[in-house]
Structure 1
């Protein structure tokens, strides 16, 4: 496991770690706000740091401690940045209700869309101009960035504040989390896909349809007592890991069941780790043998998901760690 780990939180530092040795080999200051998200670029050269209200980019290979680029458009906490798999593009979303697509070669947004509530998460969809968002109003939306319009909407209700979502484009699975302690899994289909896959749909499944698409419910998972703060799929979306206010790191799913849309396959869960305070973030290693997690207890932990053993701790942050990401330092063929 040759990885670099990046982390950020409430102590205004971004720290880079050698995953094998646990050494904190680089520290950057981010004094203007807490860190909402850290994210490696697709080539691993840059680290994007989402704060309030800017996104700053650090060239970690140059050794410079100053940002090489900043995005200045937003006026409140930037909740998330996601990179495009094709070309120098990215999307950001913010509590200021704006969703922005960026050409990283320009200083102004390529496109911007205003939502009707504070945005907490964003992911690219399957189509080039498509993305999904979730918000504090308890809804997931599918957007056409080109047309600046909402194509489909799933509303959970006034009491649900959604704090994040992830999307697996191969299986069209969306997982969303929020303040109720639950995680929700949905299959997302376009109108054309609905016609091709009618036989796959369960008559009893819940869906929220529009003219352009629909969400079909897969399952609902009790992930935490009150707040689920993060959930992520592994590489083939056969498993989901969640982190919450109770400090528990849970892995959901039965890898022996191939059908991703079978509700029962997701009910199997394993408690693979527990923090002393809130767990803010979690993610699988590429081989799905381990899970990283970050917490208000100021630790990053590496857990063996089969045994639940704590393999390594990464200590150095002085306050809560809110976000982590990893990048492989060697090429593998798995």
Structure 2
């Protein structure tokens, strides 16, 4: 399978799609709960599905609908999941207030880090030695795996708003976070010796309501934001202007860098409320240029405040909340998952819907896409 595309949500199913035809090629039942997040292993062998309390690991090439392994240890909804670049371990975040690292061979917990409040997302830094997580208390934390502790606690100045999503550039240069006020925060990540230094770059208003997902493209030229306002937006990443503020802008705000706790707290905090890019060459997706609906026009609404992340386009056509998104390996396409039951494949150059994936009976809230060529 050169292109693996799957979606899931509140109808308790995981669906695999043929990207070209839009046909659902396989459906896996997930009766225990809704599925909150999906992640495909770098070798394309396994799919991790995060639900309530547990993560189930499925064999992508097998027709067996049962999971090959279940990671059971959280006490609330699992909100984030990511694989180590070689698949040796997996990290998860949860509303129970913890971030856990799992051995993917045995399903056992290797490490447990505590936020103290529900955790909304977690990603792995490309160096594979750090984790970045965010929580409902408005914090972004960086965990140093070699030191086994929190090395940075980032608190957006003057705000105590839940941070819904974080994303790290594939080259490790940028960290972006989006919160429930519709704001995006950007930090420059500088690697010095064995220490990561973070420099605040900018804050800008991306949406006028909840941001549900932020995601940097594999080529680090675009930032996608998904929102409760029924849209996804694509922002240009300008590497020259993100280093400093432009003359027309006020100085970049001081996003407080709080010293990390001296040790890792181990006691979990239960709050069970309901709710890895690779560098391999991509499969050529130009064959997706099939007849498509008329291009969706860009919105006339503009973000008023100056920003080194100018708005490229607003992807309109979703009927409800847009929960998740995934870039193609060549950064030319974006798949979105929406509460209106649909997943959509967008060609970013033409801002048009190339395919619409119809089959879920309730909201589609997560998507995973891997169209890289394995070496």
- Normalising by structure 2, we get a TM-score of 0.78
Q: Whose relative contact order is higher, 1 or 2, with alpha carbons under 8 Å and at least 6 apart?
A: 2
Secondary structure of the residue aligned to 1:291 is strand
Secondary structure of the residue aligned to 1:71 is strand
CA drift of 1:238 comes to 1.3
Deviates more, 1:126-135 or 1:73-82: 126-135
Which residue in the other structure is 1:306 paired with?
349
5+ residue gaps, structure 2, are 246-306
Deviations 1:61-117 (A, max 9, x none): 110001110001111111111111145111111111121112212232111122222
- Normalising by structure 1, we get a TM-score of 0.87
1:279 aligns with 2:279: no
CA drift of 1:16 comes to 0.3
- Taking structure 1 as reference, are residues 218 and 81 closer, same or farther at Cα in structure 2, changes over 3 Å only? same
5+ residue gaps, structure 1, are 194-211
CA distance in 2, matches of 1:126, 1:180: 28
CA RMSD in angstroms comes to 2.3
Secondary structure of the residue aligned to 1:132 is strand
Deviates more, 1:246-255 or 1:310-319: 246-255
Matches within 5 A, 1:119-158: 119-156=119-156
- Aligned mate of 1:315, from 351, 358, 372: 358
CA drift of 1:131 comes to 1.2
- Aligned mate of 1:245, from 215, 228, 232: 228
Which residue in the other structure is 2:273 paired with?
none
Deviates more, 1:120-129 or 1:97-106: 120-129
CA drift of 1:126 comes to 5.0
Which residue in the other structure is 1:201 paired with?
none
- Taking structure 1 as reference, are residues 125 and 288 closer, same or farther at Cα in structure 2, changes over 3 Å only? closer
Conservation of the 8 A alpha-carbon contact between 1:273 and 1:303: no
Secondary structure of the residue aligned to 2:175 is strand
Deviations 1:163-222 (A, max 9, x none): 1101115242111111001111111235658xxxxxxxxxxxxxxxxxx65432222232
Secondary structure of the residue aligned to 1:53 is strand
Conservation of the 8 A alpha-carbon contact between 1:182 and 1:223: yes
Deviations 1:254-297 (A, max 9, x none): 56x65653554412331133311110111222222221111011
Which residue in the other structure is 2:103 paired with?
103
CA distance in 2, matches of 1:260, 1:178: 20
- Taking structure 1 as reference, are residues 22 and 87 closer, same or farther at Cα in structure 2, changes over 3 Å only? closer
Which residue in the other structure is 1:37 paired with?
37
1:324 aligns with 2:367: yes
- Taking structure 1 as reference, are residues 171 and 54 closer, same or farther at Cα in structure 2, changes over 3 Å only? closer
Deviations 1:116-162 (A, max 9, x none): 22111112235544211111110111112344321111112553101
Conservation of the 8 A alpha-carbon contact between 2:322 and 2:337: yes
Aligned length: 313
CA distance in 2, matches of 1:272, 1:314: 16
Deviations 1:42-77 (A, max 9, x none): 111211000110000111211000111000111111
